[in-house]
Amino acid sequence: MTTLATRSIWVLMLALAPAAIGADPPPAAGASDPAAAAVLPSSPPQGFPLSAYSAFGSSLAQTGHFAELGWSEAQFNAFLDGIRAAFKGNGYPMDDSSRKLASELSRRIGEIVTRERQMAASAPDAKRELDKYFREMQKRLGLQVSDSGLEYIVQPGRNGIRPRPGDTIVFTCVATAADGSTKLPQLSSERIRVKMEGMLPGLMEGLQMMTVDSHGIFVLPASLSFGAGPWPEGVDRGSPLVYWITLHDVIAAGSGP
């Protein structure tokens, strides 16, 4: 395992390790100094529980973007087998296919890191645009803002029964993109019956403000909709979503079908 591509992957992983724990990376000056190497510890640090090693491994894998490489479970297990074999002093030899793989992974990880840096650089501008958007929507629709960042307006219904976690609700919703006019049929439904726990966080919060036959408008930031998880096809990832909701019925938890 002496090719430049292979070394670059491990150098990148080790360089990312301090970021995983929030520490500054060590200076590179004495890294190849034999005198410095002679004083390196030859035994693992004492006093740390095994869970700490597991957490550090998870942080290193997340910071190293392993989840973004698209590996299958079998491929990742083979990767771990190679690490275990090398740890025991019996590593797998590098052949032509493994050298090509190392080069490809080095390229892909580099692209991911570059993309993240570009996104981080543009984040302040994106935040300003989002803040401007929410202010405009608040003024345009007369919305209030909850502590979570949910923007809402609710018109009263015919009784004071409000849904709570554990309840089942029947409601109609029309969802639109952030502009408030582009319909999103994949997120819209008519008289659908669901449990409250099946709702998006922002809708679950908003529905608890409603009573039967009331109408509400809710503008959900990404953190209160699909967040960091999968987003529906045709919906811009990370964008605000607007929901027009009518609550038809509330079936209290434990009251039967």
Quick: pLDDT tens for 48-69.
888 888 888 888 777 777 777 8
101 and 163 co-located in one domain = no
pLDDT at residue 33 in the model? 52
Q: How many folded domains does the chain comprise?
A: 2
Q: Is the pTM of this model over 0.85?
A: no
Question: Which of 89, 121, 153 is the endpoint of a domain?
Answer: 121
147 and 217 co-located in one domain = yes
CA-based nearest residue to 175, from 232, 129, 133, 127: 232
101 and 182 co-located in one domain = no
65 and 172 co-located in one domain = no
Q: How far is CA 22 from the centre of its chain?
A: 19
pLDDT digit string, tens, across residues 79-110: 889 989 998 999 899 999 999 998 888 888 88
90 and 176 co-located in one domain = no
Residue 135 lies in a domain: no
37 and 91 co-located in one domain = yes
88 and 149 co-located in one domain = no
CA-based nearest residue to 102, from 12, 15, 9, 11: 9
Burial class (CB in 10 A: 0-12, 13-18, 19+), 113: middle
180 and 84 co-located in one domain = no
Domain boundaries, position 34: 4-121
100 and 153 co-located in one domain = no
